Amino acid sequence: MKELVSILDGNTFLVSDRRGDIEPSHDRPTGLFSFDTRFLSTWLLTVDGDRLHALSIDDSESYRTRFFLAPGEPTHYLDARVSVLRTRTIGGSFDEQLTVLNHAKEEAEFIVRVEMGADFADIFEIKAVLRKKGRTEATVEPNTLRLTYRREHFHREATISSSAAAEVDEAGMTFRVRIPPHGEWTTRLHVATLIFGARGEDFRATTPLGGTRSVGSIQVEQDELISRAPKLGCDCEPLATAYNRSLRDLASLRYESITFGSRLLAAGLPWFMTLFGRDSIFTALQVLPFLPDLVRPTINLLAGLQGTRLDDFRDEEPGKILHELRYGETAGFEEQPHSPYYGSADSTPLFVILVDEYERWTGDVQLIVALEDHVRKALDWVDTYGDLLGTGYIWYETRNPDTGLPNQCWKDSLDSISFRDGALPAFPRATCEMQGYAYDAKLRAARMARKFWNDPAYADRLEREAAELKERFNRDFWLPEREYYALALDPEGRPVDALTSNIGHLLWSGIVDPERAGRIAGHLLGPDLFSGWGVRTMAEGQGRYNPIGYHVGTVWPFDNSIIAWGLWRYGLRDEAGRVCRAMIEAAKYFGGRLPEAFAGYDRSLTDYPVEYPTACSPQAWSAGTPLLMLRVLLGLEPQGEHLIIDPLVPPGMGRIELLDIPGRWGRVDALGRSRDETS
Amino acid sequence: MTEATERFFASLPSRAPVALRNSVLLRPVLTGTLQIDLVEGPTTDHWRVAMAPGQAEVTRADGEADARWTSNPRLFDRLVTGETQALAAVLRNEATLSGNVLLWLMFRRFFPDPPGTRDPRQRARERNGRPR
C-alpha cells in the first residue's frame, strides 16, 4: 500500500501521509513545495486533540485529493459520532476544504485544530539537514497566519487564511465549533506561496503567464492538451490504461518557468520537479508523435540557456546543453551549482538529435533555421570540450568536487559505472551510449546542414566524422570474447567491461555494426539482463549487480522504451515487441503509471514488479514510455511528408488503433493487430 | 560606477561580431535594446545596448527598452569580472530581469569566465599524461 499521497500542478506539489497530514521531515520530501522551496513543513489536523485516520482516499485526479477521515485509531471508528472530509486542490496555491460532520442526534461541540509551520527548506536541504541562514517569522492576523522567510533580498512567504473564524497563533489555527444534530461545519483554508521580486511583488505577477491557476482552468488545460493527442483504441486493457494515465501525468507535469515565461515539463515527483536537459529531451522524443506542442518550448529554452563560458563550479563550457535548472535559495546563493548546472555529457548531442527529430515530425523548418548557430555550437562542443582527452570520444569529469556530479551520463549515481568485477574506473570516463548519441547527432546535423542551412561541405565533414567515429568505436569498445560493447573506457583507454543496458541505447543511435546487432539483442533479452518485466540496468552476475540498486540492477521503464526503439531500428521487431509487452504488463501493477524504476528481481521470483523504494512517480520519461512503445509497435516513422506505418504487434495483444496522429501530414490513423489473430 | 564596468561596456562593439555572431534569420531574436540600470541610493546609471546580429551599440540614456536589468553597480562589477553569475543573482533577488529574456540570454555571452579558470582539456590531459 502506498504510504504517501501527492498532488501536483507543474512544479508546485504537496506530499502528505494518508491522513492528509504533513509532519516535519528531513529525509522525505513531505510538505508543500513550489519552485524548489518548502512552503509548508507542518500541516496536522486534530479533532478534540485526537489525530485522525483515513477511511478512504479519492486521488483519481492529479491536482485534487479527497480524504474521508475519522478520529482515533482504525479499530475505534465503527461508532464514530464525527467524521471529517478533507478536500484539497493545488494550482499555484494550495486550498483545503475541511468539513466536520456531526453524526449524533444531539448538537455537539468540537475543537478542530490545524498545526501549521514552514521551514522554507530548499529541496537540496531536505536530504542533508542544514541550518537555515535566513530568518523565519510567523505573524498573526485576523483569520490569517503569515509565515515569512528572509535572507538578504531573498524573500518567501506562505500566507494561510481561513474562511471561517479562527483563533490564530504562531503555530496554527484553532476552531471551536458547535454543530447541530446531523449537521456540518466547514472552513476553506487557502495557502498562497509567494516569491517576492525586487519591487516587493510576487515574482510571478510580472511574468507573461501568471502563476496561480484555478482548479477549473487546470482541468480545462489538461483536457485540452489531452484532446489534441491521438485516440487509442485497443484490445489490451493495460496498454489503454497506461496510455491515458501517461497523458494525464504529462499534462500535470507541465510547469511555467518563472524566469523564462514558457511552459516546460518537470522531470519527476518529488525530487526532480524542475527542468532537466536529458530528461526533457528524452521525454520530448517519446511524446513527439503524440503531443508535438510540448516540444518546441523545451527546445527553445535549452538553446537559450546553452553554455557560454567556462565555469568550473557549474561544469559549464561554451556550447554545452544544461543538466538541471533550479530556482531555490541554494542555487541563488551559489551554494549549489544549479543556476543552471551543466554536469551532463550527453545532453548536448541529445539536443541535436531532438532538433532533427522534431523537424522530421512537424516540418517546422523555421525553428531549424533559427537554431543553426546553437546546433553548430553543440557539435563544436562534442569535438572540443566534450573530448577532454583528445581521443575522439566524449569524456566527462566534474570540476566541482563538492557539489558536482561524478557520473555525467543518465546513470548518474556513484556506483553505476564499474568493471565486471565491481571495480570503479578512474576519471575521466567515456561511457558507450554517449558515443552513440554523438554519432547519431552528427548524421542528423548533416541532414539539416544539407537541407536547411545550405552548407553541403559541413554536411560532408559531419558524415565523414560520423563514419570514422563508428569505425573507431566498434574497434575500441567491442569486447570480442564477451561479444558486447564495453560500458565505458577508462582514462587509460581500457574497456570497462560490465554488461549493462547501455548497449541498448547503442542500437537506438545506430552506431552498432549491423552484424553485431543480433548478439546485442541476445544479451538484452538474455536471462542476465532481461528480468521478465524488462531489461535491467545492469546484468545479473556483475560484481555490483543488485536488483534494488538504483542504476545497478533495477529496471527503468524509460531505458526500456529507448531499447525497444533501438531494437526496432535494427529490424529486431519480435525482440522489441517482447520488451514492450513486458513493460505494459508491468504497468498494470502500477495502475498504469510506470514509476521511475522498479526492482530487477526475476519475474519467476515475484509475481508482480516490486516497486523501488524511493522511486519518483509520476516521472516524465516513465510517463512517456507507453507512448514511445506505441510508436515502436505500430512502426511509425516519418519519411518526407509522409508517415510510414509498419505495425508488428506481439502475440496476444490483439488490435491497436491509433487515430489522428499529428504531424506534417496533417493527421493520420494507424492500425495494427497481433499475427496470431485473424479478422 | 567603476572602471571594470566602463571597460566592459566599451569593449562590447568590438566583441559583438563574435559574441552575437548569427545568421540574419535570427534577427528577430537578437535584435532589440537592453537597458541596464545600476542603482546606488538616489543615483541610477543607465547603459543602453542596442543589439543586432554581430553588433552592439552602447549609449548612456534612459528610455524604452525590450529588456531591462536592474541591480546595484557592485553586483554588476562582479558580473563583468566573472566573479558571480547573472541567473543566480536573479534567483537570489539581487537583480531583476524584465522584458524579453531571450535578449538577456544572448547578452550573457559577453560575460567572462571566472578569474583563474583554465581550459578543462588542458587539466585533464596533463594529469593523464597526454600532451597538448
Alpha-carbon span B52 to B20, nearest angstrom:
7
| Interior angle at CA A430, CA A425 and CA A433, nearest 5 | 120
From chain A residues 97-126, the ones with a CB under 8 A of any chain B CB are none
In total, the C-beta contacts within 8 angstroms joining chain A to chain B are 109
Alpha carbon of B10: minimum distance to chain A alpha carbons (Å): 20
C-alpha cell recorded at residue A443: 548524421
List chain A residues with CB under 8 Å of B17.
none
pLDDT tens track for A291-332: 998 999 899 889 989 999 999 999 999 999 999 999 899 999
Selected for mutation to probe chain B from A153, A299, A324 (highest B CB count within 10 Å) is: A153
CA quadruple A68, A73, A79, A84: dihedral, nearest 10: -30
Selecting from A304, A334, A372 the residue whose C-beta is nearest the C-beta of B88 gives A334
Domains and CATH numbers, chain A: 5-206 (2.70.98.40), 234-644 (1.50.10.10)
Q: How many CB atoms lie within 10 A of CB A602?
A: 14
List chain B residues with CB under 8 Å of A296.
none
Alpha-carbon span A523 to A281, nearest angstrom:
27
| Interior angle at CA A402, CA A400 and CA A405, nearest 5 | 60
DSSP character at residue A521: H
Q: Are B93 and A198 in contact (CB under 8 A)?
A: yes
Mean pLDDT of B14-42: 84
Q: Are A269 and A617 in contact (CB under 8 A)?
A: yes
Place of cell 502500477: A590
* 3-class DSSP state of A116: strand
List chain B residues with CB under 8 Å of A133.
none
Alpha carbon of B45: minimum distance to chain A alpha carbons (Å): 18
B123 belongs to a structural domain: yes
Helix/strand/coil percentages in chain B, nearest 5: 40, 25, 35
pLDDT band at A63 (very low <50, low <70, confident <90, very high): confident
B7 belongs to a structural domain: yes
User: Which residue of chain B comes nearest to A340, CA vs CA?
Assistant: B87
Alpha-carbon span A144 to A164, nearest angstrom:
11
pLDDT band at A200 (very low <50, low <70, confident <90, very high): low
CATH number at residue B67: 3.30.1050.10
B111 belongs to a structural domain: yes
Beta-carbon contacts of A304 under 8 Å, excluding residues fewer than 6 positions away, are A260, B101, B102, B105
Q: Do B85 and A334 touch (CB under 8 A)?
A: yes
Type of residue at A382: V
Is B85's Cβ below 8 Å from some Cβ in A?
yes
pLDDT band at A213 (very low <50, low <70, confident <90, very high): low
* 3-class DSSP state of B95: coil
pLDDT band at A207 (very low <50, low <70, confident <90, very high): very low
B38 belongs to a structural domain: yes
Q: Do B120 and A317 touch (CB under 8 A)?
A: yes
Place of cell 547603459: B47
Q: Do B92 and A332 touch (CB under 8 A)?
A: yes
Alpha-carbon span A370 to A303, nearest angstrom:
10
Is the pLDDT reported for residue A607 higher than 90?
A: no
Is A457's Cβ below 8 Å from some Cβ in B?
no
Selecting from B88, B93, B132 the residue whose C-beta is nearest the C-beta of A197 gives B93
Alpha carbon of B89: minimum distance to chain A alpha carbons (Å): 6
Mean pLDDT of A452-471: 97
Beta-carbon contacts of A313 under 8 Å, excluding residues fewer than 6 positions away, are A334, A337, A399, A400, A404, B114
| CA proximity to A80, closest of A99, A52, A58 | A52
Q: How many CB atoms lie within 10 A of CB A271?
A: 17
pLDDT tens track for A224-262: 999 999 999 999 999 999 999 999 999 888 876 655 666
Is B74's Cβ below 8 Å from some Cβ in A?
no
Q: Do B95 and A261 touch (CB under 8 A)?
A: no
Is A198's Cβ below 8 Å from some Cβ in B?
yes
B132 belongs to a structural domain: no
β B96-99/B67-71 pair status:
antiparallel
Is the pLDDT reported for residue A170 higher than 50?
A: yes
The number of domains in chain B is: 1
From chain A residues 201-220, the ones with a CB under 8 A of any chain B CB are 206
In this prediction, residue A4 carries a pLDDT of 84
From chain A residues 314-353, the ones with a CB under 8 A of any chain B CB are 314, 317, 327-329, 331-334, 339-340
What DSSP element (H or E) covers A468? Answer: helix A456-476
Domain that residue B82 falls in: 3-127
B37 belongs to a structural domain: yes
Q: Are A360 and B109 in contact (CB under 8 A)?
A: no
In this prediction, residue A8 carries a pLDDT of 85
B33 belongs to a structural domain: yes
In this prediction, residue A350 carries a pLDDT of 98
Beta-carbon contacts of A449 under 8 Å, excluding residues fewer than 6 positions away, are A455, A456, A458, A459, A462
Mean pLDDT of A178-185: 97
Is the pLDDT reported for residue A547 higher than 90?
A: yes
Is the pLDDT reported for residue B61 higher than 70?
A: yes
In this prediction, residue A215 carries a pLDDT of 76
Q: Do A153 and B92 touch (CB under 8 A)?
A: yes
Selecting from A198, A310, A390 the residue whose C-beta is nearest the C-beta of B70 gives A198
Is B23's Cβ below 8 Å from some Cβ in A?
yes
Q: Do A385 and B23 touch (CB under 8 A)?
A: no
In this prediction, residue A204 carries a pLDDT of 53
* 3-class DSSP state of A476: helix
B78 belongs to a structural domain: yes
Q: What is the pTM of this model?
A: 0.94
Type of residue at B19: A
Q: Do A428 and B124 touch (CB under 8 A)?
A: yes
